Amino acid sequence: MKKNDSGTFIGYNFGKERMMFLTVYKPLEASTTLRFYRAIHSRTELPPESAYYLQSLQKGYNGEKNWATYLNELPKNIPILYDLQFEVNQSTIQIDALCILQNKLVLFEVKNFQGNFSVDGDKWYSPSHKEMKNPLNQIKRAEPLFHQFLKKYQLNMPFDYYLIFVHPTFILYGASHQEQLILPGQIPEFLDGLKQQTFSPQRLHTKIIDTLLTNHINDIHLLHKPEYHFDQMAKGLFCGVCGGKMKRKHKKTFSCMKCHHSATVNDTVLYNIQDYMALFPERKVTTANIFDWIDEEVSKRFINYFMLNKFESHGLGKSTYYKQNKY
């Protein structure tokens, strides 16, 4: 088993003639941008434009989780990768989900729109009758870029690209039939088609997965960068699911006071250290700083031991600080 540059495990091995395919996937997680805004929102008040942007990011992520639930119904040996992002010829493309079938790739752009929308030619209108960006144009822009990506890495595999509307209240009036557009009521039939797919892994499939994961980038997109200061932020341990305050439940677990999500001490501390690193890249990650950041919820001894095992250490004694592992 190997671990690629994105930090995702790829498991496979080669025989003389055949390849045995183990678990190969990039799981769905909150994007770096969403985590960044969540981290601020949990600890201080966001300005209105940033709060609205966070709400939009969260709504989109909820839609992706909804679609992931549907894709879980597919045969278990079909590889699925979520939330991919690439740079192609100085342009960025984002793919919400990607399935690898025997003879083609299937890409998905997921929308979590609610309410009554309408179409007049190429123009789309929101429930408030305001003209909006045509979401199909996002696919039309990404398609040639993804073609270029596949060609660059000599991945000879055709692909289909679909725009999926997952919220059950979404209605679209005036739309002509388009193969790429899947409305909520069409999802069951569409999934039935995917469920019929058989998959026998080949070396090309592994090459595709490895290339996708290796070239995935984790940039933060700061549409409205809010102002925030360490001294003005609430300290403590916060939930990785909803951002609520975490309190110790048992010796080895914490529980969220808002959504009741439970997590191990290790996972909770790691999540909050990563928040600190994302929000304050200019500040050193030291035992004392993290002890302050999490409001002394665990001991300095635990933090020191934890970071020695999870991060790269630099310096000696009281001057020791930590950085994210390179592997």
Q: Picking from 5-19, 152-166, 167-181, which range would have the lowest pLDDT averaged per residue?
A: 5-19
Question: Between the CA of residue 256 and those of 90, 111, 206, 295, what are the distances in Å?
Answer: 41, 29, 39, 16
Q: Indicate whether 140 pLDDT > 80.
A: yes
- Tens digit of each residue's pLDDT (9 = 90 or more) over 252-311: 999 999 999 999 999 999 999 999 999 999 999 999 999 999 999 999 999 999 999 999
Tell me the DSSP string of 85-153: EEEETTEEEEEEEEEE-SS-EEEEEEE---SEEEEETTEEE-TTS-EE--HHHHHHHHHHHHHHHHHHT
Closest C-alpha among 185, 182, 159 to residue 100: 159
102: left (phi over 0), alpha (psi -120 to 50) or beta: alpha
Residues in contact with 319: Cβ distance below 8 Å, sequence separation at least 6, in sequence order: none
pTM for the whole thing? 0.84
Token pair 């790829």: residue: 10
| Triad 245, 246, 250: Cα angle to 5° | 160
Q: Would you tell me how many other CB atoms lie within 10 Å of the CB of residue 309?
A: 9
Closest C-alpha among 208, 92, 108, 198 to residue 156: 208
Query: Letter for the amino acid at 304?
Result: N
pLDDT reported for residue 145: 96
**In angstroms, rounded to a whole number, what is the distance separating the alpha carbons of residues 153 and 150?**
5
**In angstroms, rounded to a whole number, what is the distance separating the alpha carbons of residues 230 and 13?**
47
- Tens digit of each residue's pLDDT (9 = 90 or more) over 185-244: 999 999 999 999 888 989 999 999 999 999 999 877 777 788 999 999 999 999 988 899
Going by the DSSP 8-state scheme, the letter that residue 245 receives in this structure is B
Going by the DSSP 8-state scheme, the letter that residue 295 receives in this structure is T
Residue pair 86/149 in contact by the 8 Å Cβ criterion: yes
Closest C-alpha among 234, 241, 240 to residue 294: 234
**In angstroms, rounded to a whole number, what is the distance separating the alpha carbons of residues 299 and 285?**
16
- CA 149, 150, 154, 155 dihedral sign is positive
Q: Indicate whether 179 pLDDT > 70.
A: yes
**In angstroms, rounded to a whole number, what is the distance separating the alpha carbons of residues 25 and 145?**
22
Alpha helices by DSSP H, the chain: 32-43, 48-71, 135-152, 187-195, 203-215, 265-279, 287-293, 300-310
* Backbone torsions φ then ψ of 259, nearest 5 degrees: -110, -5
Residue count of the chain:
327
Token pair 């725009």: residue: 163
Q: Picking from 13-17, 87-91, 164-168, 228-232, which range would have the lowest pLDDT averaged per residue?
A: 13-17
**In angstroms, rounded to a whole number, what is the distance separating the alpha carbons of residues 222 and 104?**
34
